[in-house]
Structure 1
Amino acid sequence: MLPEVTAVRYVTPLREGGSLPGIVEADNLGTYVVKFRGAGQGPKALVAEVVSGELARRLGLPVPELVVAQLDPVVARAEPDEEVQELIKASAGANLGMDYLPGSLGYDPVAHPVEAELASRVLVFDAYVENVDRSWRNPNLLVWHGDPWLIDHGATLYFHHNWARAANVVHRAYKWDDHVLKPYATAVPAAAADLVPRLTADLLDEVLTLVPDEWLAEFDFDSAGDARAAYRDHLLARAAAPAAWVPAP
């Protein structure tokens, strides 16, 4: 399982996020950016955050620590914003927390060039998980102590929004024309040669085990085990056909 913390204080909302995530203090004295299960995207966004975020970490990419943040609606009492109050009340139980990086900056592709190996690895990873949200308009990258960090993977794995058609899009090509790291990703073939063989059933099972059962059992399947098997089978099939989705420079 992911590390588990309990939220003790809601600090402030991050209104630039479409799901209205918030900064929360936890009982381990840590501070986290929390995505709430009661937000419009629902638990599928949290599943995508864990699967893609922890997969990226195991592939050597920089992702802030993820935790399961247990939330008691009582923390909403001190929040004056009614919209936030309702969101917290609708999100009792397990939510997704990401370690807050104090002092981090939003990524600027001009001010913060990324070396070719890392940029290429990020691009190949994004192509695999079909990340539609790493464009120059919305990079979902932070710069912390001079290094880039990958955040916000709730828009990945979008095949899971229509399981009836998921098998038909396993080999879907990745649209990367506006990927924020495209100018720096000049080593894509080498990155793919390294990453693709590591996308194994064992790795996917390890990552999928980290997703709380309650997020998986809320939709589409009779059990969390059935849901994990469906994700694993889809992602394994995609890994077996890299020619279909690895960007061709």
Structure 2
Amino acid sequence: MTDLQLRTVNVTRYVTPLREGGSMPAIAEADDNFLYVLKFRGAGQGPRALIAELIGGEIARILGLRIPELVFANLDEAFGRTEPDEEIQDLLKASVGLNLALHYLSGAITFDPTVTTVDAKLASQIVWLDCFLTNMDRTCRNTNMLVWHKELWLIDHGASLYFHHSWQNWEEQALRPFFLVKDHVLLPWASELESVDQEFRSILNSEKIQAVINLIPDVWLEGDTNFDTKAAHRKAYLYFLETRLTNSNIFLKEAQHAREILI
């Protein structure tokens, strides 16, 4: 578990933009002939959204939740030259190099809580994960979950770890409850939070978190003036996540309290 690896693919064809995404991701084809949802490092929130996507997705995978395969995706500078849409052309030019992509689940449908029932344990697992990651983007308005082959898959963790957009008081933020859990789409069904907390704390540890953080490409950490070195930058992510894991009772109690009010 000390050494995690992601495949690296080369983008060969830009298929279509996904306009519903705030950072304008796209469906693209790679040199392995698979389709991917491509997240661009040149989008509005820059590499930090990709770091959150990478950390959130791989931690979810360690915890046994279903996540489409994440890959590093190389984008050649030639892509920006032939794109007729100026906005997309600028995005492609700003994203030359290493980006992040999720395997495209062809035929998947957006999760609708009025149509699909989620059992208490799975709901509790996902709520716990999002409290741990401070993921604000799993609401009724935007569930960021797909139903594929009758199973629930999690996507889009780019809004997680929002503290890292400013790094202001980040040590204190590691110990804060996740108040936005009150808007979580699965909170009404999350009746097994306490047992899930025990289960996930037995699975996740510093070594596994460090292995995920080690996946972050150096190039995504460049230009952040909050840290003198990339090692210090990585250490801050580790500290934040270790602290939240050790003190999970803080966000657990807040989630339970929000659920009591809701139901």
1:221 matched residue in structure 2: 227
Q: List aligned pairs for 1:23-42, cutoff 5 A.
A: 23-42=27-46
Match of 1:5 among 9, 14, 29: 9
2:102 matched residue in structure 1: 98
1:239 aligned onto 2:245:
yes
Q: List aligned pairs for 1:1-249, cutoff 5 A.
A: 1-175=5-179, 176-219=181-224, 220-246=226-252, 247-248=255-256, 249=259
Q: How far is 1:229 from its partner?
A: 0.7
CA offsets 1:109-161 (integer angstroms, 9 cap, x no match): 01011111111101101100011000111101111111111000011011112
TM-score (norm 1): 0.96
3-state SS of paired residue (1:37)? coil
CA offsets 1:46-90 (integer angstroms, 9 cap, x no match): 000001100000010111000000001212344321110110011
Q: How far is 1:182 from its partner?
A: 1.3
56-65 or 72-81: bigger deviation: 72-81
Consecutive unaligned residues of structure 2, counting only runs of 5 or more, are none
Partners of 1:198 and 1:213 in 2: CA distance: 27
8 Å CA contact retained: 1:217, 1:227: no
3-state SS of paired residue (1:163)? coil
8 Å CA contact retained: 1:216, 1:223: no
The letter of the residue matching 1:199 is: L
Partners of 2:242 and 2:153 in 1: CA distance: 26
Q: Cα RMSD between the aligned structures? A: 1.2
Q: How far is 1:218 from its partner?
A: 3.0
Partners of 2:111 and 2:80 in 1: CA distance: 31
Q: How far is 1:223 from its partner?
A: 2.7
3-state SS of paired residue (1:164)? coil
3-state SS of paired residue (1:33)? strand
The letter of the residue matching 1:45 is: A
Partners of 2:19 and 2:168 in 1: CA distance: 33
Q: How far is 1:30 from its partner?
A: 1.2
8 Å CA contact retained: 1:214, 1:224: no
Counting aligned pairs with the same residue, the percent is 47
TM-score (norm 2): 0.91
Partners of 1:17 and 1:188 in 2: CA distance: 30
Partners of 2:19 and 2:36 in 1: CA distance: 15
198-207 or 221-230: bigger deviation: 221-230
Structure 1 runs, 4 residues or longer, greater than 4 Å off? none
